[in-house]
Amino acid sequence: MKLNKLLLALVASGMATSVFATNGYFSHGYGMNAKGMAGAATAMTGDAFGGANNPATMVWAGNRWDAGIDAFSPQRSATTAGETAAGTGTNKSQASANELFGVPEFGYNEMLNDKMSLGVTVYGNGGMNTDYAFTGSMNQLMGSTALGVDLSQLIIAPTLSYKASDTMSIGVSPLIGYQRFEAYGLGAFSGYSNSSAHLTNNGTDEASGFGVRVGAYARLSDQVSVGAAYSTKINMSKFDKYKGLFAEQGDFDVPANWNVGVALKANAKTTIALDYQHIAYSDVKSVGNPSTNLTGLAGGAGYLGKDQGAGFGWSDVDVVKLGVEYAYAPDTTIRAGYSHTDSPIQARDVSFNVLAPAVIEDHITLGLTKRLDKSSEITVSYAHAVENTLSGTHLFGSTYGTQTVKMDQNSIGIAYSKKF
């Protein structure tokens, strides 16, 4: 098979991913077709991104490969106002630097016989990135240097898909996770860390781990298809350089998540897809532990790096995704979509989330596929994440002011697909 050489090339380039994603820190969609439909893909079978969406759909996609890249532009800012504590000097409003990222994605699928396929999906799962320049006497978390984090996650998903009948399939994708992380400017928390030498400004660290995604797909009629998929938590190795920052001595797993979807063929040219996704952020302590654990637990039990150490305080999120696909012409398909979720961040946790202002709730998307010949096509997609803000009292009390985080995003991507 051609798979081995292709996979090596894709992994090498995919590891460059660094991005702040959108539904929490997960991407709003995987595969350019899905991105044009706000991520609604659980019951769709048009590409080789089943390893990220629903492994059971790959056997319907045939022999093909898809390679694309998104130009992703998030605008994030943080403001501290109303500070009255003497000498802190944190009152300021700042926009984060680094407003353009390239996000690659790849899929490959090959039919082993008429009932089974083997493929791979390689994709940037998501991440966090902020970079606030140092101005004045302190940064917005009372440190004395520039402030920021950089987290990126890559997942490789080999996928086996099997047709159990003419109308139903199942699939499985072992998930090989790789992530890297860096933090700087957090020196003010050294007295609240289980290991201050492993808290901040230690350069880039790496971690890897394994999980699995399983899925099922069924064509109930010529008009209606349904799908479901579940991904276990990806248990990652620990960030040893930051074991004084993340709870459980540097642990940062990829949370479990599941999705269900239905696709309705309204007429010969129009398909409507509806997905529901749940992401269990609260089950990962470094993400879900409240930041108020820092000072709220007796005896320093909530210090950074400990099992109950302060985290970002994210709650689980539920995402509803609605997409429409319309065959405008024999060689042209257009798409549109809308998705909604609730921000995982609560007002009590705004201070820590200056580093990760994941307050996006709504996405509006467009997409288009143009067939070039009988075996190749180009797909483009656009997404706008509507601006949202959140404010809350500073972690160390009202005398340090009120902090506000804000973000909106735009992305435009292009992919080339080849059938063989």
The CATH number covering residue 199 comes to 2.40.160.60
268 and 325 Cβ atoms separated by less than 8 Å = no
For the residues of 289-328, what is the DSSP string, one character each? S-TTHHHHSGGGTTSBTSTT-----PPPEEEEEEEEEEEE
Q: What is the pLDDT of residue 22?
A: 84
Residue with tokens 């202002």: 357
| Mean pLDDT estimate for the chain | 93
* Amino acid type, 307: D
- Closest listed residue to residue 148, CA positions, set 408, 9, 353: 353
For range 84-99, the mean pLDDT: 81
Distance CA 106, CA 15 (A): 12
* Amino acid type, 93: S
CB proximity list for 113: less than 8 A, separation 6 or greater: none
Question: What pTM, to 2 d.p., does this model score?
Answer: 0.94
For range 310-321, the mean pLDDT: 98
* Amino acid type, 28: H
- Closest listed residue to residue 311, CA positions, set 336, 284, 342: 284
The pLDDT confidence band at residue 87, using thresholds 50, 70 and 90, is low
Q: How many domains does the chain have?
A: 1
E strand or H helix that includes residue 191: none
Residue 15, pLDDT above cutoff 50: no
The pLDDT confidence band at residue 91, using thresholds 50, 70 and 90, is confident
- Closest listed residue to residue 30, CA positions, set 53, 47, 58: 53
Distance CA 255, CA 324 (A): 29
The pLDDT confidence band at residue 84, using thresholds 50, 70 and 90, is confident
Q: What is the pLDDT of residue 13?
A: 45
Residue 16, pLDDT above cutoff 60: no
Distance CA 171, CA 216 (A): 6
Question: pLDDT by residue (tens digit) across 144-184?
Answer: 999 999 999 999 999 999 999 999 999 999 999 999 999 99
The rounded radius of gyration (Å) of the Cα atoms in the chain is 22
For the residues of 238-250, what is the DSSP string, one character each? P-GGGTTTSHHHH
Q: What is the pLDDT of residue 136?
A: 80
Sign of the torsion formed by the C-alpha atoms of 235, 240, 244 and 245: negative
Cα torsion at 156, 160, 166, 168 (round to 10°)? -60
Return the SS3 of 159.
Answer: strand
Angle at 403 between CA 402 and CA 405, to 5 degrees: 150
Domain membership of residue 347 as a residue range: 3-419
Instruction: Spell out a b/e string for 206-222, using b for 16 or more CB atoms within 10 Å of the CB, else e.
Output: ebebebebbbbbbbeee
Task: Retrieve residue 336's tokens.
Answer: 């549109």
| DSSP letter, residue 255 | P
Q: Which of 142-146, 235-239, 301-305 has the lowest mean pLDDT?
A: 142-146
Residue with tokens 């089974």: 116
The pLDDT confidence band at residue 21, using thresholds 50, 70 and 90, is low
Q: Rounded to the nearest 5°, which phi and psi values hold at 180?
A: -140, 155
**Percent of the chain whose pLDDT exceeds 90:** 88
Number of H helices, E strands in the chain: 5, 16
Distance CA 172, CA 165 (A): 17
The pLDDT confidence band at residue 8, using thresholds 50, 70 and 90, is very low
Return the SS3 of 42.
Answer: coil
Question: pLDDT by residue (tens digit) across 349-375?
Answer: 999 999 999 999 999 999 999 999 999
**Percent of the chain whose pLDDT exceeds 70:** 94
Residue 26, pLDDT above cutoff 80: yes
Residue 143, pLDDT above cutoff 80: yes
**Max Cα distance, the chain (Å):** 73
22 and 83 Cβ atoms separated by less than 8 Å = no
Residues facing residue 389 across a β-bridge: 406
* Amino acid type, 126: G
Distance CA 407, CA 386 (A): 8
Q: What is the pLDDT of residue 6?
A: 47
CB proximity list for 284: less than 8 A, separation 6 or greater: 233, 251, 252, 253, 254, 255
411 and 70 Cβ atoms separated by less than 8 Å = yes
Angle at 168 between CA 51 and CA 159, to 5 degrees: 20
CB proximity list for 12: less than 8 A, separation 6 or greater: none
Q: What is the pLDDT of residue 126?
A: 84
For residues 126 and 299, the model is more confident at 299
Residue 69, pLDDT above cutoff 60: yes
For residues 202 and 142, the model is more confident at 202
